[in-house]
Structure 1
């Protein structure tokens, strides 16, 4: 509608509302509705109407739609004002049907009248007649009703894999021909990860303590000047610490913090451990993990999509959290020395980015049940919880194994790497 000059008149239904109301209400929706960085670039829903001005547009909205009706009216008002300045105020209108998300009869009749006016030059009150609904067999466009059953058909997943196939050679050439600092600078650029010196420092606020035998557990809240707030637990050994570990788990800091659990065991063995909830994990997780047909999507897919709309990546934001936490922990509790880093599951990919981009911060890196390669994600139709792990445009320049290759083998442990469906790879 916005870009194709062949569309003389248009009547978009049950979607246009504007990003402000969309994000204030139900949040971002299906991914075909989202363009990378479009909010940062200033492209809002109203611009789809304004880009085609003064060609006719009928905005069709439903009062009870989950796409906010007030946003539709705000958008219409903007369109009406611009079309009026162009001298064609009658070429943009709005119809509101008191229904839910559906192409109700009010919309069907309104759109038919709109098209009759602008395409046929007939301005009348056309009404939808009674008609017999066709049987399913009568409306099939293919013999079996499924285009994928046709000879030569390829699925969306196959098309994506075909597009990405040349990237493997491109990546290899990029890493062979680029000095490592330049290659890592490209990683930083794509993932939108600022240099450590540009990250605002964290401060901590105490929130109570708990004693478990010789281990002291402190509840902390980490904050920075940009408004980032991360809950954390600090496990202190009874005697002098033998090292410091920053522990990041996809299920949050509590996942391994129970009595007799792994974090307590590390502290009893002499390590000081800071377990942190990264953005969207632990206490910061948005809702529960979905079930049913939504099960492949993580609870933070909307946060990841907002980051995408802003031209950012949730993985990159979490990487910045890790870098700032590691710097704070090193200065606060480890006499400025590098810290050991553990990232599990969804926290593993930002941990890998952090270790590759600022290796001086980390004495060692351990990745547990972390995605082995992004190539798996685009090579299969079955993935699970991967949206928060993605970095827009990355596969033209780097994949996760490229980051692994930058780290010394004696400083990196890959424990039970997983495929795109979250299954441990068989050896």
Structure 2
């Protein structure tokens, strides 16, 4: 047996040097070696995003007339609607008031309306008391969306009550996955989510719409638009004086609503508007409803939300130390101000800024209320809004005042739509119906199927022509001379330079015998694991056995290499949710980039003088098995592949009530073109498939546990 301690120690030393060099080349900041590959991939995607946003800024800067600005608005609106999958059909609201709470200066009606059939939205309608001697008339109104808090609409009591005391009707509603609208409620813990928190709820709800070519933003946008429908149905509301306000996640929903619904006459978006070229390098992409696939790739950026509203009054509201970069808000405000100026010399765009971190709107609350008074109540004294008394030191900004309880703000009997109305729809069930309504894709074969795979995955690499040599800089090999078994196998460390900025860690096992050998490609997370790990030992043993049997064996980890880690919004989303959002924004997919890596790995094996290019096989498991399945359809040099523990169909993933660790496998709109059984059929005898997984199975096998 080989001296594995010596082998693994040598590999560890080489890998440490290579990884350290890669990190130093990427950034002057300190990055843990385990995240070097993740950092490379992030910078690669951010570079693509920066190129796209720069080209967009140039295009917008060339607009010099109102006609050109309106033409861009029409184009952008059409593009956004296409990206999110359009809007649902307008159906009866079936609105009902189920309770009433009287407060000082206003009353709160508990409201339920159906955004879509049997898809209820829980909301609170704040109505100001009629002041003695006041002139009778219809009320202006504001749609208020909350940030990413579990209490949903209850967290907006402070602003909603302030607006009400200033003469506004306010509809404050629960977004999907918040308040009383959990999509994945934990049956064992009332009020808790199996997706952990609102961002986990939104992320999980966003997976399956992506597969049918939609974005979960269509559901969020439609909830807000139906809120406007409800306000317009109320006789006491002036349908021509409706505004929208929200902060943080609520700011995202307000930006979407203000851009797509021209019935909104004044928009206040807080702690959200920034720019992608500042956001991505700072905190990265945020949440599924804020990260529509191909948004950046389609030439769009944050200012488009504002510019779509022109010339309607708009307030970009930002705090100087916000996690949504203030510098980005300044850039977007400057561009939007010029855009607004093309409509009217009297620009109705305000930039309301204040000190503090994310959501610190207290210091500028008066200016926010004044903005809405100015534009929706022109006869009011906008300079002197009615403000709540100062909070006690240390009090939470979301704390309810005396006399108002949680029950006063709860609409359903149980506190959750799902348990109060067990037969209601969810995003999952609505998307499943949408999937089943799609026309069956055309049966694809040969080049048509390969073209569809490339279109869907965004894979770009083309197999090198037979007999060609690889690019001189494709690989870097380092000899790891160690004690080996019977003198029959040697190992080399290999860094595959898949494309500029992307280095893949791997190793190759070579038989000592001379001549031309079979070649085996192993897509393996373990190839970039810490050298002392048990999984790396297992991989080395497998490679050694194959090499002893006469094969050249190349094990490599597709990007990111090593896989690394990221912030986890919810355990059920797995460790690649935010990376996939970043990729999708720029017009890429993790799957497609890994397919490119696989094809370039085959290029390397096929070009070696000691391998037979007609006898290259490959093996992979889990998520990498799905990568290999796609790659083999595109690359005929893979004479045979073995795939195990991989997803069996995208249909099963769409049907699953709560997929686990699915982001790595996502392909926007894939089921409109093909499903996995079509790929399996195309490969025929070239494929050995074992233990296929359904969408209801746990796809979250440890990143470190798969060695083939």
The normalised TM-score by structure 1 is 0.88
Residue 339 of structure 1 is matched in structure 2 by 616
Residue 541 of structure 2 is matched in structure 1 by 261
Structure 1, residues 344-381: CA drift from partner, whole Å, max 9, x if none? 222111110011122x2112101122112222222123
How far off is 1:318 after superposition?
0.9
How far off is 1:337 after superposition?
2.5
Residue 128 of structure 1 is matched in structure 2 by 387
Identify which of 474, 495, 500 aligns with 1:221: 495
- Aligned counterparts of 1:115 and 1:289: Cα–Cα separation in 2: 37
> Contact 1:296–1:383 at 8 Å: present in 2 too?
yes
- 1:133–1:21 Cα change, 3 Å: farther
- 2:527 counterpart of 1:247: no
> Contact 1:59–1:95 at 8 Å: present in 2 too?
yes
- 2:417 counterpart of 1:147: yes
How far off is 1:166 after superposition?
3.7
- 1:331–1:381 Cα change, 3 Å: same
Considering only aligned residues, what root-mean-square deviation do their CA atoms show, in Å? 2.6
- Aligned counterparts of 2:642 and 2:282: Cα–Cα separation in 1: 39
- Aligned counterparts of 2:309 and 2:426: Cα–Cα separation in 1: 32
Higher relative contact order (CA 8 A, sep 6+): 2
SS in 2 for 1:163: helix
Larger Rg: 2
Find runs of 4+ consecutive structure 1 residues off by over 6 angstroms.
Answer: none
Identify which of 559, 568, 575 aligns with 1:279: 559
Structure 1, residues 105-151: CA drift from partner, whole Å, max 9, x if none? 23543322111000001322314223546211111122222222344
> Contact 2:313–2:349 at 8 Å: present in 1 too?
yes
- 2:308 counterpart of 1:51: yes
Residue 448 of structure 2 is matched in structure 1 by 182
- 1:225–1:147 Cα change, 3 Å: closer
How far off is 1:198 after superposition?
8.2
SS in 2 for 1:417: coil
- Aligned counterparts of 1:195 and 1:233: Cα–Cα separation in 2: 22
SS in 2 for 1:190: helix
- 1:251–1:305 Cα change, 3 Å: farther
Instruction: Specify every segment of 5 or more residues in structure 1 that has no aligned partner in the other structure, as ranges.
Output: none
Task: Tell which deviates more after alignment, 91-100 or 349-358.
Answer: 91-100
Residue 338 of structure 2 is matched in structure 1 by 81
- Aligned counterparts of 2:478 and 2:567: Cα–Cα separation in 1: 28
Residue 403 of structure 1 is matched in structure 2 by 679
- Aligned counterparts of 2:499 and 2:415: Cα–Cα separation in 1: 56
Task: Tell which deviates more after alignment, 9-18 or 191-200.
Answer: 191-200
How far off is 1:288 after superposition?
5.8
How far off is 1:223 after superposition?
1.8
How far off is 1:225 after superposition?
5.4
The normalised TM-score by structure 2 is 0.55
- Aligned counterparts of 1:198 and 1:314: Cα–Cα separation in 2: 22
- 2:669 counterpart of 1:412: no
> Contact 1:289–1:298 at 8 Å: present in 2 too?
no
Structure 1, residues 62-99: CA drift from partner, whole Å, max 9, x if none? 23322112111221122223223433454112222333
> Contact 2:517–2:612 at 8 Å: present in 1 too?
no
- Aligned counterparts of 1:96 and 1:417: Cα–Cα separation in 2: 54
SS in 2 for 1:141: coil
- Aligned counterparts of 2:508 and 2:664: Cα–Cα separation in 1: 26
- 1:289–1:112 Cα change, 3 Å: closer
- Aligned counterparts of 2:550 and 2:622: Cα–Cα separation in 1: 25
SS in 2 for 1:287: coil
- 2:435 counterpart of 1:164: yes
- Aligned counterparts of 1:165 and 1:187: Cα–Cα separation in 2: 22
- Aligned counterparts of 1:220 and 1:120: Cα–Cα separation in 2: 69
- 2:650 counterpart of 1:379: no
How far off is 1:190 after superposition?
1.7
SS in 2 for 1:129: coil
SS in 1 for 2:683: coil
- Number of positions where the alignment pairs a residue of Structure 1 with one of Structure 2: 413
- Aligned counterparts of 1:111 and 1:408: Cα–Cα separation in 2: 64
Identify which of 291, 296, 319 aligns with 1:62: 319
